[in-house]
Every structure is written in C-alpha cells, then in structure tokens.
Structure 1
Amino acid sequence: MTALTTPERTAPAMPAGVRGRPARRRREAIDVVTGLTFLAPKLIFFGLFVAVPFIYTFVLVFQRGDVLMGFHWVGLDNIVAVASDTLFRQTLLNTFFFMVVYLPLSLIVPLGVGRLFASTLRGVRIYRALIYMPSLLSIVAVGLIWRLMLDPDSGPINIALRALGIDTFNPFADGTTAMIAIALITVWGGLGFGGIIYMAGLNDIPGELLESARIDGAGAWRIFWHVQLPLLRPLIQFLAIINTIGAVQVFDIIFVLTKGGPGTSTSTAMWYIYTIAFNGGSVGYAAAMSVVLLLITATLSVIYIRLTRTSDR
C-alpha cells in the first residue's frame, strides 16, 4: 500500500513591483545623499554669509554700540529714535525722488534698446556689443567713468562745451540735478541688461501673430502697442520689481559720485545707514534703520504684485 504524499506548498511569488521597492528606496536615498553632498558647500555659504547675518540684524536692533567697544541692550530705544529721526526721513524722501526719476527710464529706455537688438538692422551685432558693454562693468566703475567725464576742469564733456563757448556744466553742484544725473547714469549702466531681456521677449513672440496683424492692416505702432507690448508684460513686471529693489538700496553710485552731497541732498537711506554704521555711529541703530528699509521694500513689492495680479485678472 503506497503512502499518500501531499504536494509541498510553495510561497506565493511576490509581484515584481513589490520586489523592486527596497532597491528603489535605496537608490532614492543614495540620490538624496548625493544631492545634499553637492548642495552642502552652497548651503554652508548661504548660512554663514546670508542667513546668520540676516537673523543677527534683528538682534542688533535692540542693542547699541560697535564691534570694538561691544554692545549693550537698549530695548526699543533704537526703534523710537528712528521714528523721530528727521534726517532719516529726509534720506527716504531722497530715495523716493531717485525712484521717481529712475524707474520709468529704466523700463522705457531699455525697451527701445531691446527693439534695436531684436531688429535685422545692418551691423546690429556691433550695436549690441557696444550698448551691452557698460553692463559688464561694476556700478563703481560706471560711476568713476562718469565722474571723470563730467569733471568741471578736465572732463572731456566740459572741455568740449568750453570749446563751443558754453559755460562749464557741473550737475553735481546742485542737489536736484545731481540726483537726476545719478539716476541717468544708473540707467546707462543697466541699459544692456534690460535691452537683452526685452530682446529675448521680442524674439519669443510668434511671427504668425505679427504677420496676422500686418494682414489685418495694422501698422508698426499698432503692432507694437496691441501685440508686442502686452506679450512683454511679464518681463516688464520682472524688471520693475528688481529695479524697484535696486532703487531702494542705491548706495555705491552715491558713494562714488557725491558721497551724499551737496549737503544731504543726495543722501539716500542706504547711504545714511552706511555712515551711521561705519563712521562712528551705532551699529544697532543702523540695523534698526535697515529693518525699516526692509519693511518698506517688502511693502512696495507686495503692493506691486497685488496690483499686477488684479490687472491680470
């Protein structure tokens, strides 16, 4: 009599997707570690030179003193002092005047340059190189160039004016003309960057849209106003935001050209903060003004973003 044998039970085969999960997770973990390894130098640099100083600025707001003599806590005294500082309010007004002159020009003039860059004009590559060249220079170099150009005694512009029988022109002798000149020089320094941005936007517009407008009888001005300009709106918003931030923080061109003079007529908020922090004033008081300027910049940015979103809707 033969014994009955039962077949051996085998474990059910695992789906291929389940078998591959541990290996996939290991690969994902390796990818994360590799990515963090490559990011580590930049994260360390950001933490040491951006995040830590930014946070420490808010600590300095409640302190007085300097690096050599040490700091001591004063509570809200710095904030109260900033609120009653008439010179700080004057520098804010000077900064606002600079913005009023600079911002429209920094958006309109590069737009014309961008149209030139995007054109098929003969020799346009040479024009691009010549106009973009100032953007390769630092703003300090730009300021030094124009200070030499406008020098009342030896500047080539005034030499040419005197040769024509015209009186010497010194825009930095008067506060209003000095601020206007600073705004114009700043626009000149960033002309190539804005022109390249606009050129990229113009070249990205489909040719079919322009051709359809021409077929419908639209001239060059109507095509620009009703077709090209609306499509350039995101770029205009981008340039407006970064130029607004740059205008609020204008400092280096002031340092090179006028050092806040004549008097305090070209002293901007950032220039005043610099003089308080490094010319015998209180670092904590300068930090308090920096925080106020940060809040003003953030408020302007939020208002502008909200207005542009409303317009888009």
Structure 2
Amino acid sequence: MQAIKAQARAEFISALAFLTPKFGLFCAFVVVPFLYTFYLMLFQGGLIGKFRFVGLGNFGALLGDGLLRSTIGNTLLFMAINIPVTVALALGVGILLARQVKFRGVYRSLIYVPSLLSVSATGLVWKIMLDRDAGPIYGFFKHTLGLELSYLQSGSVAIVSVALISAWASVGFYSLIFLAGLNGIPQELYEAGKVDGISPRAAFWHITLPLLKPVLQLVLILTSISAIQVFDIIFVLTQGGPGTSTYTVMWYIYKSVFGGGSVGYAATISVAVMVFSILLAGAIVLITRTREAK
C-alpha cells in the first residue's frame, strides 16, 4: 500500500513539474492579457502617457461614436458577402474533390495553395491583378464587359472586393473541412437512393446536406469569427481606405491604439466584439439544433 501511494505521489509530482511551465506561459500570454483588457476598459489614455480613470465612460462613448457605427456597417457588409461566398464555394469545391476523378490528389493540393500564401503575397497579387493600368482582371472587365470599376479605390466597391478576395484566400482550407465531412458519409446511403430512383439533386438535399450539418455548423462559426476579426487583408490592400470605406471593427481598434487614440476605448470595443462573437456562435449552434430537431 505504501509503495502504491509513493508511486502515485511521484507521478503527481512529475505531472506537476511537466505542466507548470506550460501553465505559467498560458497565464502570462493568455490569462493576464485577457484580464488586463477588462482593466483597461475603465481608463482612457494613449500608449504614451498616463491613463485617466473614467469608469464606464468608454461604454457611453461607444453609443455616440459615429465612425464606429459606420465601421460596424462596413463589417456587417463584409460578413454578408464573405460568409455566404466562402461557405458556398468551399462546399461546392469539397463536393467536387470528393468525386472519384483522375488526378484528384493534384486538385486537392492546388485548391489549398491560396491558403498557404501569406497575406502579403495575396494582397500583392490581387493589387496587381486589379490595377487600373496593367491589371489583367481590370482589363478583362473593361474590354469585355465595358466595366471600368476602381476595385480598391472606390468606396462603394472596395469593401466588396476585399470580401471576395478574402473568400478566395480561404476557400481551400474550408473545402478540406467539408471534404472530411463528405468522406464520413456512408456510400451505402447514396446507393440506396439510386435504387429508390432519387436524382443527384435530391440526394444532395436529403442525404448530403442533413448529414453534413455538424460540419456546416463548424464552418459557419469559423467563417463568421474570421469575418468579424478581419484585419490583415485590410492592412495589406486598402489601409482602411479610400476614406473610411473599408474600416472594419478590428482596423478601427488598431487605429485607436496606434493612431493616437485611447487604449482603454480600444479595449472596450474589443470586449464588445468578443461578446458579439460569442452570441453569434451561440445563435448559429441554436439555429442548427432547432432545424435538426424539426
């Protein structure tokens, strides 16, 4: 009995010694910054200078911030374009990749290439392709369809262009998630459907889509959070311009901190974004479960 207790104590000490450094790093780089954000919400002040205690004043400032309202509108427009396009394209590509065709492995590798590119490379490529002077895409639409649009310089078009470029860059990643879900669907169900005489379209709606709902739920949550937190592609392509037409919430937070604004105000917006993200993810899960229950 004594030997068993001694062995258990030794295992506990070994596990504690193994986990303590990682737990310390987790606290230092995750827990402490997370809690410090809530502390900053009570103050106003820039990166250089003293903080001034304002209590809940930052929350009141949110309600009267016209630029923030415009930024939220831009973010919602980005989400309305980016999320459906990304999910639809990723699902379609996933279905195509799941079929038994020649060189399927090559296609799977190629479709994932945009996801491997750095944001800087993606932004540079698309800047060149949409350039008014030498861009092939701009030239195609101009000479073929007669459309002369300033894709990244026009306020009404820039946010749409950025949303579509972001969708292009992430389709490969999400299509592989859908592909994994499609490979988990038993082929016997499709064979039984063929025996019953259902069409491929009916098989998609009555077999594929219902069994793919958990994967679809995951992709919707991931794409929604990614759209809310979009920053990098904005930084590379438009820097929030022209004007403030591509200001998103995360870009506004960045400008508030590094553009001479208040760190506490930026922390308040960050917490509001976190709460909205949690509520949105919960709503997606709730809606999916409700539909499944029906």
Q: Percent identity, aligned pairs only?
A: 44
Counterpart of 1:251? 231
Q: Determine if the alignment matches structure 1 residue 287 to structure 2 residue 286.
A: no
Cα distance in structure 2, aligned partners of 1:98 and 1:165: 25
Counterpart of 1:270? 250
Equivalent residue for 2:39, pick from 53, 59, 73: 59
Counterpart of 1:187? 167
Tell me, yes or no, if the aligned pair for 2:47 and 2:257 is still in contact at 8 Å: no
Q: Secondary structure at the match of 1:173?
A: coil
One-letter amino acid of the structure 2 residue matched with residue 177 of structure 1: V
Tell me, yes or no, if the aligned pair for 2:74 and 2:245 is still in contact at 8 Å: yes
1:62 positional shift = 0.8
Deviation readout 1:140-172 (Å, 9 max, x if unpaired) = 432222112212123333355667695654312
Tell me, yes or no, if the aligned pair for 2:220 and 2:284 is still in contact at 8 Å: no
1:57 positional shift = 0.6
Deviation readout 1:91-144 (Å, 9 max, x if unpaired) = 111111111111111211101110121111112222111110111123343222
List aligned pairs for 1:55-204, cutoff 5 A.
55-159=35-139, 168-204=148-184
Cα distance in structure 2, aligned partners of 1:36 and 1:156: 59
Question: Structure 2 length as normaliser, TM-score?
Answer: 0.92
Equivalent residue for 2:210, pick from 202, 205, 230: 230
List aligned pairs for 1:26-65, cutoff 5 A.
26-65=6-45
Query: Structure 1 residues 156 and 41 mapped into 2: Cα distance closer, same or farther (>3 Å)?
Result: farther
Deviation readout 1:177-231 (Å, 9 max, x if unpaired) = 2111111111111111111111111111112112111111122222121111111
Query: Structure 1 residues 35 and 310 mapped into 2: Cα distance closer, same or farther (>3 Å)?
Result: farther
Larger radius of gyration: 1
Q: Secondary structure at the match of 1:212?
A: helix
One-letter amino acid of the structure 2 residue matched with residue 248 of structure 1: I
Q: Secondary structure at the match of 2:152?
A: helix
Tell me, yes or no, if the aligned pair for 1:62 and 1:73 is still in contact at 8 Å: yes
Tell me, yes or no, if the aligned pair for 2:131 and 2:138 is still in contact at 8 Å: yes
Q: Secondary structure at the match of 1:98?
A: helix
Question: Structure 1 length as normaliser, TM-score?
Answer: 0.87
Give the paired residue count: 293
Counterpart of 1:8? none
One-letter amino acid of the structure 1 residue matched with residue 266 of structure 2: A
One-letter amino acid of the structure 2 residue matched with residue 273 of structure 1: I
The gaps in structure 1 that reach 5 residues or longer are: 1-18
Tell me, yes or no, if the aligned pair for 1:78 and 1:288 is still in contact at 8 Å: yes
Q: Secondary structure at the match of 2:79?
A: helix
Q: Which moved more, 1:203-212 or 1:64-73?
A: 64-73
1:82 positional shift = 1.3
Cα distance in structure 1, aligned partners of 2:239 and 2:111: 28
Q: Secondary structure at the match of 1:75?
A: coil
Tell me, yes or no, if the aligned pair for 1:205 and 1:228 is still in contact at 8 Å: yes
Deviation readout 1:55-85 (Å, 9 max, x if unpaired) = 1011111111123212221222211111211
Deviation readout 1:245-293 (Å, 9 max, x if unpaired) = 1111111111111111122111111111111110111111111111122
Query: Structure 1 residues 168 and 285 mapped into 2: Cα distance closer, same or farther (>3 Å)?
Result: same
Cα distance in structure 2, aligned partners of 1:224 and 1:25: 58
Cα distance in structure 2, aligned partners of 1:36 and 1:106: 44
Query: Structure 1 residues 24 and 104 mapped into 2: Cα distance closer, same or farther (>3 Å)?
Result: farther
Q: Which moved more, 1:24-33 or 1:104-113?
A: 24-33
